[in-house]
Every structure is written in C-alpha cells, then in structure tokens.
Structure 1
Amino acid sequence: MVKPLNSLDSISAIELQKLSNHIKQWGLELGFAQIGISDIDLQPEEAKLQQWLDNDYHGEMHYMANHGMMRARPNELHPGTQRVICARMDYLPPNAMFGTHLRDPNLAYISRYAGGRDYHKMMRNRLKKLGQKIDQQLEAWGYNPSNFRPFVDSAPILERPLAEKAGLGWTGKHSLILNQQAGSWFFLGELLIDLALPVDIPVAEQCNTCVACIKSCPTDAIVAPYTVDARRCISYLTIELQGAIPVEFRPLMGNRIYGCDDCQLVCPVNNQAPLTQESDFHTRASLSKANLVELFNWDEAQFLRLTEGSPIRRIGHKRWLRNIAVALGNAPQSDAIIAALQQRRASDEVDEMVIEHIDWALMRQQQTITTSRKTARVIKAVEKGLPRDA
C-alpha cells in the first residue's frame, strides 16, 4: 500500500531552510548566476506604479495598465503564492565592442542583450526544471508537490521590486537592478510558489550621489531618479513603439537601431561585470560589426532567417527598416546611403510609415551635402583671402 503524501502545511521550518539552500544550489547548476527568495508584499509599490501610469510614462505599452494592480499582487496572478523565487542570468557577451559600434556612425548599435538568442524560453524552461527539482525533493520527504509557475517577462508582475526584495541587488537611478558584483547586465525571471520559504535580506542602495546614468541618456528619458518616461526612451522608441518615431527624437538616436545601453555603459558598478557563461547570448556573426546599409538591404525573408530565435524578430521587418532609416539619416553623407534609401523607397516591402522615415533620412543626407558644400566654399574663400560669404 502506498503511503499518502503529507500536506505542505505540515512542512517544518528546518525543512524549508534546507529546501531553500537546495534551491539556490540547483539554480547555480541550472546556469543562473544567483537565486534569491522574496515574500509577496509589494503594497508600497502600488502607488508608484499608479503614478507612473497616470503620467502616461508607459506610452503605447497598454499591457502595463491592464489587470489593475495585479502586477503588485503575485497571489492574484497565481493563487496560493506565498513566495517568489527570483533568478538572474548574466548576458554580457564577449567582444561587446561598445565603443567601436557607438563611435562609428556607419555601424548599427544593437542593445547587447539582443545580439544572441532570445532569453525568454530558455530561462522559463530552466525555472520550470527548478520547480520540478523542488517537487522531487518534497516527494522524497513525503510531501505533496508544490503549486509553482515560472515567468520571464510573460505576466503582469513587478519583477524588479521582487528581485530587490530577494537580495539580487538594488534599484539604480536608471530603474534597473544593480548588483555589486554583476552590475546590471543580467536577465530576471521568477518562480511563484506556494511554500513559505525563508526570505532573503535586501541589499542597501549604493548609487549614493552618482547621476551618471541620468546625464548620459541621449533623450533625457530618466526624468527623475528611479523614474523613466518610456515615451522618450530609445529602447521603447525602437522596440515597443508601433508607429512613427517622433521627429524630435530621431537625431538623438544616432545609430542605435534596437534598444540602447547608454545608462548601463556609464554606470561605474558595471566596470567589473562578468561575461555570460551562455554561448547562446553571444552576438551573432550577422550582427557583429553590422554595417547599416547592409542591414537595410535585408529583404523580409533575410530578416526572418537571420533573426530566427532572436528577440529582434518581434519588431518585424517594417519597424526594422524604420529604425535603420533613422540611423542612416544620422550617418555621414554617403552616396551609397542615398542610393540604398532610394532603392528601398521604391520597393514593395515598405509602407507609408517606413517611407516617412526614409524621406526624413534622405532630407538629412541632403542637408549634410548642402552643409558640406557651404563649408567647402568658406574654406576656399578663407584660403584665397576672400570674405566668408564670397
């Protein structure tokens, strides 16, 4: 006769502590850089979230306003939840070449989290395996399985405040989680579970008087410490925004065609950030030192093939062209750029939204030509000793 399993309500504090230790070790074995455990009390975050939404800082990200305050109530998202197991996974690739890409306006800058494989499915699968390991241990001790559910950017949940409560780091003034040893180059994921595991202790904020991230933002999107107006953020403009990019932000975007890392690049905490141990996060050859014109010439079939399994694919070919057109408009004058813009404009793969950005880029290129000619005339006049307006 099989002995019935015991209810989780009867699990002892000693067993919960042992299980917590196991969970953190299993997390490392599964490839996570760190595991922390948080309670589910996010009530102090509700007013902050509501104010952010009331200010329309979420822009077109309407999903941020859906489900009311469920984002701050994990037990409403997954009934029975008592704890959130928070995980982080480093993603900084080797040979990130930040300076090379940002200094050369003819190259495309892609946020360093997006150069390799999409992290969502990988992390969710590993969190699921972590939950299964927990249930195996519970069964070995004679208990019923838990009721767990993994999430990686796939549900209305405030992952950063949870990660902070779980001791994974503190919230920087750019609103990202900072870890003293790992900086901010990591992904976050959560496992909601109905076990009263012992919680970890949050770490103290260490930004002090530093405001480097605020000053470095090209579009002044960090409107106050810890507050980002997404409508101004280049990551939002190049990824989340569906329609035309506001003209006022286009010159400020430079060659950033998918996301932006500026606030992380200047952060002193990131100086010693470790490289990822996951080869899937390494930058693909097709995106390494990628020339803007070459990327702009990808047809939709090439785009889908070369971004398969990548987070970039979610924006689709048209927004890909939109973003690159802006970067081409910001690049130095080039006959090759003008030819590429004109050729793409005449293709059947563009709509009115893309054409608007191509026309803007062509105008910028023409302005550069006009300015260059005027400058050349001035230089020639000066050399001849003539008035500057000669």
Structure 2
Amino acid sequence: MKTLHIIPSIEPRSGGPAEAIKRLATEVRLRGHSVDVVCLDSPVHADATDDTAFNRVIRLGHYAGKYSFSFRLVRWLMQNGRQYDAIVVDGIWQFHSAAAVVSLRSLGVPYFVIPHGMLDPWFNVGRPLKYAKKLVYWMLVERHVISNAQGILFTADSERKLARNSFPLYRAKEATITYGTAPPPSIETTGVGNWRASAECEGKKLIVFLGRIHEKKGCDLLVRSFHDLKEAGDDYQIVIAGPDNNGLVARLRREAEHLGLAGRITWPGMVTGNDKWSLLQAADVLILPSHQENFGVVVAEALACGVPVLLTDKVGIWQEVVADGAGLADEDTQQGVTRLLTRWTSLSDEAKATMRTAARQCFDNRFHVSRVAQSYIALMGNGRPESVNTLPDSVTG
C-alpha cells in the first residue's frame, strides 16, 4: 500500500501533527508499506533529521503568505495523485486542504482528512472578527473539503463531538483513529542525568511542560498556579520547554519575575531528539494545562517514559488517562491547575510510584505506535473504515 500525507510543514517547530506523522510513518514502513509526504517547506535549509521516517519527502516551497498559497502544490497533486492508494490531508485552514479538494476531486481520487483539533469551537470563542473570516472561508472552501472527504479522522471521541458545533452546514463521514508514539530510547542513550544535574534543576523535582508556547496551551495558568503552591512547591522546579512562535515567552517571564519565580522556572526553548526524551525521563510529572488539545502527542510520549500526566479536561484523552490511573485531570482555569499541582505535590512516594507503573501500562495498552499503525493500515487499506459515521442530512453544526 502506498500512502501520501499532505501537510503545510513537517519541521519540528510546526508542532505535534508533524511529529505524530513521522512516528506513524516509521511504524507503517516497518510493516512493508510506503509513506510519502508532500509539504510546503523550502528545500533550502530544511531540517532533514527525520526524513528517514518516510519513503520520500517532497518539499515544494515557494508559497505566499500565512495561508501558504501554492499553485505548485495543485500541479504536483494533479500530476501525482493517482499513484497513491490512500491520501491524507493533515490539518485545515490553509491552502493545502483547498489544493487537495480541487486536485483530487477532479482526478476522482478519494482522500481522508485529519483535522488535528482545528474544528474545535474553542478557537471561535471571544474572537468575533476571526470567526467571521473563518466562517466565510468555511462556507466557500473548508466545508467542501470536509464533506467530500472519504473520512474525517478524529484522534479522540471528544474531538469528534466538538467538531459538530463549530460551523453551520457541517457534513462528514466521521471516524476516530487514536494517535500514539514509539517507546523512548534508553536512559543510557538520552542522558537523563543532564537535566537533574543542571544548576537550576539540581536537587529539584521537575514539573515539565513540553510543547508549543501558544495561548491555547495555558502556560500562563501554570505560572500563576505554581505561585499559588507557595511552600508546597519548594521542592519543585518548573520547566517550560518548546518553540515560541508568537512571542509569549517574554511576557510569561516578566510575569514570573513579578511573582518572584524568576529562578524557579527554566526556559530551555525548543528541545528535540535525545534532549526531549531525557527531559521527559527526568520529569516527576508532565503537565498540559491546555484550553484546547485534540490529543496531545506529548502526553503519549510522557506515558511511554512512565511519567504521570496532569491534564485539563480540554485535552481529548484525559478520560482514558484518568481511567487507567496514569494521571489527574481538572478544569482549564487557574483554580483547576492549582488543584492539579496541589494534588500531585501532596501524593506520597508510594502513590506516585503506582501512578508511574500505570502510566507505562496506559501507553502500552492504548498509545503504542504499533497499535496505531494497525488501525491506520486497516483504515487506509479498506478505503473506508467500518467505524465511519455518516451524519444524517438533518444534523448541522
């Protein structure tokens, strides 16, 4: 089976979707199948570190604006679309999804869409102008991308249900496909002691946030809630690691300094490869205080390291994690995040050890990439999954 993923970027800074595709592609290829990816990254100065995950990476470059407008992508899909058994569009709201529906429909080639949380109503709340622009674009383009797809693949059931309430005239053939990741390298390989021995972290237990520094991630809640812990947080160091594409770190650092936390929070920037895994392996707990998160690949990565997770109830897989005893969850408010931190710091060493064991079991049972690959191959091979739910005509968003 030969599959193609269409995505604006596979650079590490682009976030979880690119990382998830790489891990999935690696496992699918081990099972004898082919996975290509076409993106709009520039071939010049590209980070080709993970290109070996795919059979072929096609970087077209030469796009215009934030919308990533590219006639080159349309031409490439028209010329090459028929050679694939299955095509997946990763994400929406940029030109690559419009290019897919225009090109592939004219060829009669079916495609799937993974929205990666981009149909969550959270993005519309309190943003009337942005919502108005998206509504116009939805009516003209994106609803046709969705309604003409062979299947819309959600990474959690909660994401699927929320998507129905985002925009009017929503029609979709829905399915849920769990995402996951591969097990981490050994501690000997990653050098976990490097974090624990650093000047700021030495002798401290690490509460780690790992991901894009974006307003939806709730890092401001984490800073304020850590301050709320007062003496209970004395044994802990916060590590907030990830790319800052929107200039939020400077504001967060100023707030931390104002609260007297300047030396209590470490800001290493973006970490990748063994540095990322060593940070997770050194963590006492991972925290993801997001306002919106369809899945959260970093959650699966932490669980793979046997690290419990603290989640808000806006992270799509929080119910599975809590049900397995692999973490705690609360609401996405300062009070909710403070409760999470308070509950964690109040746990006994024995209770934490039990949760670490549960974390690895949760990963093995639910989010190991081998399980994800089996589901993916069955779905793509059949052309249409049995779990697809076509909404009746009377259902709208």
Which has more strand, going by share of residues? 2
TM-score normalised by length of structure 2: 0.24
Larger RCO, structures 1/2 (Cα 8 Å, 6+ apart): 1
TM-score normalised by length of structure 1: 0.24
